[in-house]
Amino acid sequence: MLRLFFSPDFVIAILRATTPILFATLAAGVAAKAGICNMALEGIMLFSALFGVMFSHMTGSWLIALLLTCVCGGVIGLILAFFILNLKTDEILAAIAINLTATGGTVLLLLAFSGDRGSSTFSTVSAPAVGGVNVMTALALLMVAVMHLFLYKTPLGLQIRSVGENKNSAESVGIKSIRIQYIALILSGILCACGGYFLSGGYMNSFTKNMQSGRGFIALAASEMGANTPIGGFAVAMLFGIAQAVGNQLQLTSIPVELIQMIPYATTLIGLAVFSYIVRKRKEKLAKG
Amino acid sequence: MSAEKRFEIFRLFFSILIALLVSFALIFLVSKQPVAAIMALITGPFKSGRNLANVVEAMIPLIFTGTGVCIMFAANQINLASEGAFHLGGLVAAAFALKLALPAGLAPAVCLILAAAAGALFTALPAILKIKTGASEMVASLMINYLSLWFCTFILMHFILDPAAGAASYSLPKTAKLLTLFSGTRIHFGLIIALVVAVLGHVFLYQSKMGYELRIAGSNKQFAEYSGIDIVKVILISQLVGGAVAGLGGGVEILSPIYSRFTWTSLLGYGWDAIVICTLAKKDPLKTPLAALFLAYLRTGASIMARTTDVTLEVVQITQGVIILLAVAEQFLSKTKHRIIAREAKAALQKEEAA
């Protein structure tokens, strides 16, 4: 058992489980840096998982399917931004609406597209793996570095952060906050779409109804624990990857499967509480000193 | 009624109308028999007494979770744990109904009280976590919903499972079940409990001192603090009461004639529906039965549509999503709102000048 946990296969299993959460965590991070809590990640991920298999079935190419899925993810981000920023819908309620639409919409769309109910049975092309590591996993790791450079080394990244820190002072130096928040939410949608795409085109090789199963929500927590930075988010997403991979291994033991299923959510909850507590204590210390 | 209030109602109905039109358009896109499907959706519930009874049955759990969410959201706590509280309430009521051999009459009461207590403790968890550590109650509540699901499935599979019945508990004893109100239907005593809860919820939120403090704390935290309201206490109470109502709802649902065993192995979504209800009812528990009636009608229509035509039930979730999006969009129809208020003001001014 222990030997299993230290094998290279297990490291690959961790990376595999981390990948979708990592994409969504980066997505949550960029939205949060612009001052918006993107709870619609759950719905965007679900939509993207379905779009991924549909596009790869239609085009026969995983890459074109990925690109098209990213476009769709960006469009959902745009719609979310329109409601939050232009129509002044509460961001949480708008996200809940998108998540509800995704739950129903994916079933409807799958049925109309293929006549399948619940899961896809048509042929799809998944993202290939090189040396046991999926291309999407590599892309996710690359995106951590890209998002870090983007947020901290480019003018647009600075503008996103300043809008999130203080909208009014950003406006006072001539930054169009609405435009910046639009960009952040579209980016968030695209990143999340990559995670959704991987769920049905690499992690699994078909679409199943509600297959995101809370990963979008976990990503929100992961991003918050990582102080919404790409690198912090990566570390926390990795922690969940480990929790999930350990859980998958434990399913082979006699421990009840229901308890194992709790592991990722319990890890998130405890991690979030500990992290928030440390942040609060640090703030109190700073306030005193 | 002020112009602004009239406008709010107008916008609500307009949102519902657009949402229905969007759903019809979708049905036209995916269905080979769109007209039959839409007719089934709209008129289906009226076609027979049994269908109408189904609407009322579907309404009951929605009133509970809707009222619970109204109370929790009034304190401006985005606690989404009513989903898990409902689930847990159902499990607790079912488990105690099976394990405690209580006489008829007493049994349902005890089971429901325990279900409410479980729900209250459950939704208080994110609130306590927020107070003690500052962790976002929203994220925490999303996580504990899944913990509730797997905990309940664990208890089901290892403690109350009937090996002869698949993934279901032993048959719940007759003594613990709620009475049917009208013979020939499954409309049960839970309807009365639900309506009482909605009225009490309204009284608590809008006519008690605690409810007033709670709403102040929800709408303006600083002001509440300056006026000496104990915010921590108020928030905690709102989450406890809201969760109790949701847990009670789960208990009522599982002890209703609709179920004979505990069979929930996935989240049922009543917590998310409750947010639609809360939006439609504008956070007033008294209006939740009406909002629940609307949603239940739509649901029943959709399930008739799914049975008789080629359109799936899930269309309704899209309708719900669009309703939320438009009904809470402050700027949606804002020009019309401006026009209505301006016209009203002008009329008032003219009246004054004439006098």
Query: What is the ipTM metric for this complex?
Result: 0.86
The two tokens of residue B4 are: 């602004």
Residues in chain A: 289
Q: Are residues B254 and B352 in the same domain?
A: no
Subunit contact A94:B324, Cβ cutoff 8 A? yes
B46 found inside a domain: no
Q: Are residues B304 and B316 in the same domain?
A: no
User: Which domain CATH number covers B181?
Assistant: 1.10.3470.10
Q: Are residues B83 and B202 in the same domain?
A: yes
B41 found inside a domain: no
Q: Are residues B58 and B191 in the same domain?
A: yes
What is the per-residue pLDDT for B69? 94
What is the per-residue pLDDT for A160? 95
Q: How confident is the model at residue A80 (pLDDT cuts 50, 70, 90)?
A: very high
B44 found inside a domain: no
Q: Are residues B125 and B179 in the same domain?
A: yes
The answer to whether the CB of A48 falls within 8 A of the CB of A106 is no
B151 in reach of chain A (CB within 8 A): yes
Subunit contact B30:A108, Cβ cutoff 8 A? yes
Q: How many CB pairs under 8 A join A and B?
A: 147
Q: Are residues B89 and B6 in the same domain?
A: no
Mean pLDDT throughout A170-188? 94
Q: How close A178 comes to chain B (CA, Å)?
A: 15
Q: How close A132 comes to chain B (CA, Å)?
A: 31
User: What are the extents of the domains in chain A?
Assistant: 2-288
B61 found inside a domain: yes
Mean pLDDT throughout A143-150? 96
Rounded distance between C-alpha atoms, residue B61 and residue B306, angstroms = 22
Task: Check whether B236 has a pLDDT greater than 80.
Answer: yes
Q: Which burial class, exposed, middle or buried, applies to B152 when counting CB atoms under 10 A from its CB (0-12, 13-18, 19+)? A: buried
The answer to whether the CB of B349 falls within 8 A of the CB of B77 is no
Count the Cβ atoms, other than its own, within 10 Å of residue B35.
12
Q: How close B159 comes to chain A (CA, Å)?
A: 12
B36 found inside a domain: no
Q: How confident is the model at residue A1 (pLDDT cuts 50, 70, 90)?
A: low
Q: Are residues B275 and B335 in the same domain?
A: no
B37 found inside a domain: no
The answer to whether the CB of A216 falls within 8 A of the CB of A43 is yes
A270 in reach of chain B (CB within 8 A): no
Q: Above pLDDT 70, what percent of chain B?
A: 100
What is the per-residue pLDDT for B1? 64
What is the per-residue pLDDT for A289? 67
B58 found inside a domain: yes
Rounded distance between C-alpha atoms, residue A69 and residue A48, angstroms = 6
B287 found inside a domain: yes
The number of domains in chain B is 2
What is the per-residue pLDDT for B174? 86
**CATH code at A2-288:** 1.10.3470
Mean pLDDT throughout A253-265? 87
Q: How confident is the model at residue A287 (pLDDT cuts 50, 70, 90)?
A: confident
Q: Are residues B76 and B10 in the same domain?
A: no
Q: How confident is the model at residue A50 (pLDDT cuts 50, 70, 90)?
A: very high
Residues of B in contact with A46 (CB under 8 A): none
Task: Check whether A5 has a pLDDT greater than 70.
Answer: no
Residue with tokens 């007719």: B39
Q: Are residues B230 and B255 in the same domain?
A: yes
- Domain range for B17 is 1-31+312-355
What is the per-residue pLDDT for A147? 96
Task: Among B26, B135, B321, select the one facing A98 at the smallest CB separation.
Answer: B321
